[in-house]
Amino acid sequence: AHAAKPVTPTPPPPTPVRISAAPAANVQSSSTQKPYTTISSYGWDQDDYGKEPNNVYVYLMASFLEGIGQFKDHVHCSFTENAFDLKIHDFKGKNYRLVVDLDKSIVPVESKAVVKKNKITITMRKVKGTYGYDSWLDLAAKRRGAAKEDEKDPGAGLMDMMKQMYDEGDDQMKKTLGEAMLKSRQEQMRGGAGAGLADI
């Protein structure tokens, strides 16, 4: 029989030492936890009809952006077919954001944000339709709530369409629509709603 070896106690495992994260990671995590300040002031423009390719431009040139060119890596912009989301992280101690639901569709992969010394320009490629590029009347889409209001009153949608045709039409179109709308209103006053619109 063999003699039993004395059992030596196993030393406890070393206490784990917490290694602090790299400074860059700390900056990023703290900046993303700050609330965003909404960017409410911007301008926009578009290329002239017939230009190839055709783009829409958003310009941010507010005084708070002074010096943004030295912080290009803090600016991020993502695009979908119907929106863009611009985020500026940890610039002058704040986070900034501009989200816009667009009036018409864009090509996300052909769109970009360019950061200059004191401004940011967002360039978005328009989607080319059957007859070329559409001309945009608005940058931002109408609120969805407004669309729901139109659904409640079918006449409101028709009047909006008539107003848009009038605003965009030539002089002859404006005259024809103006006369039809006047006639329609006169018919409504007499009780025959909408009869005048049938004459267009």
Q: Which amino acid is at 15?
A: T
Token pair, residue 152, equals 């409640």
pLDDT of residue 134: 85
pLDDT of residue 17: 54
The count of C-alpha atoms lying within 13 angstroms of the C-alpha of 139, restricted to the half-sphere facing its C-beta, is 16
Of the listed ranges 43-57, 130-144, 167-181, the least confidently predicted one is: 167-181
pLDDT of residue 130: 78
pTM of the predicted model over 0.75: no
Residue 140: strand, helix, or coil? strand
